Amino acid sequence: MANIDNRTVEGFGDEWSRFDQSALTKDELQRNFELYFRIFPWSNIKEDATGFDLGCGSGRWAALVAPRVGKLHCIDASAAALRVAQANLAAATNAEFHHASVEAMPIADDSMDFGYSLGVLHHVPDTAAGLAACVRKLKPGAPFLLYLYYRFDNRPRWYALAWKASEIGRSLVSRLPHSARYAASQAIAAGIYLPVARSARRLEQLGINVANFPLAAYRNMSFYTMRLDALDRFGTRLEQRFTRAEIQDMMTRAGLDRITFSDSIPFWTAVGYRAR
């Protein structure tokens, strides 16, 4: 059986067609990029390195990675998303695009100098198998950057309970037709994300610690990013979450070692190296 959920893939095709990143400022894109890639070992990546972006979506990360390397394979299971990425990376002559699912990536095993998959593998039926498929593409010693949704294992219990309550909304919204799903998510962004996030920013300005304040991660982000993430959060049919220990175990079993986790948002971003 293919490791893919077709309804989820269709949803992401719609999402990236609506949010192609054209309205995102370069400064915010760079800040968001650094949140994920701050632990990536750029010093180990040569200028002629070849790597891959599994689940490239709109190509937002690839646009900033491609100028640093020799060749970047951009892979996505959604043809619609891949078209957006191709448009966004039209000037990147070293980017190669592949319409493929994680278990059918058309690149050779043991061939990549690096790889990354950010916010993708928790949306496939078998996350561990998807991760193992990615690791097989790496050369021994090559790094892999991974971001999976976390299960709030570093948060107060009430925080996780609040998330579980929001799951009721996701289960309803994600089953709507694309247009209704989009409309509902935008109402959530305007009615919940924006006022709560801006309240967190105001409290922080008053000297209050907002580390565990709901949606505080968005306090300095644009409304565009909130709208995108509201659609991503409430419009996606298949979503899985993992604790840090579970992610480390999956990475180890997939063949990665020297695993390091970011100690700041977004949790749990991690990097590991294919075992030699």
Q: Is there a single domain that holds both residue 176 and residue 47?
A: no
168-192: average pLDDT:
97
Q: What is the pLDDT of residue 2?
A: 87
Confirm whether 1 is domain-assigned: no
Residues 102, 67: Cα–Cα separation, whole Å = 24
pTM of the model: 0.96
Pair (82, 162) in one structural domain: no
Please state the rounded mean pLDDT for residues 147-169. Answer: 94
Say yes or no: 174 and 82 in one domain.
no
Rounded to an integer, the average pLDDT of 4-20 is 97
In a domain, 64, yes or no: yes
- Co-location of 105 and 195 in the same domain: no
Q: Counting beta carbons within 10 angstroms of the beta carbon of residue 207, is it exposed (0 to 12), middle (13 to 18) or buried (19 or more)?
A: exposed
| Domain, as residue range, for 176 | 157-235
**The pLDDT of residue 1:** 63
SS (H, E, C) 153-182: CCCCHHHHHHHHHHHHHHHHHCCCCHHHHH
**Total tally of structural domains belonging to the chain:** 2
pLDDT in tens, 95-107: 999 999 999 999 9
Residues 124, 246, single domain; the answer is: yes
Residue 30 sits in a domain whose CATH number is: 3.40.50.150
Residue 49 lies in a domain: yes
For residues 218 and 250, membership in a common domain is answered with no
Q: Are residues 84 and 208 in the same domain?
A: no
pLDDT > 90 in the chain, percent: 99
Predicted confidence (pLDDT) per residue in 44-85, tens digit? 999 999 999 999 999 999 999 999 999 999 999 999 999 999
Residues 43 and 118 in one domain: yes
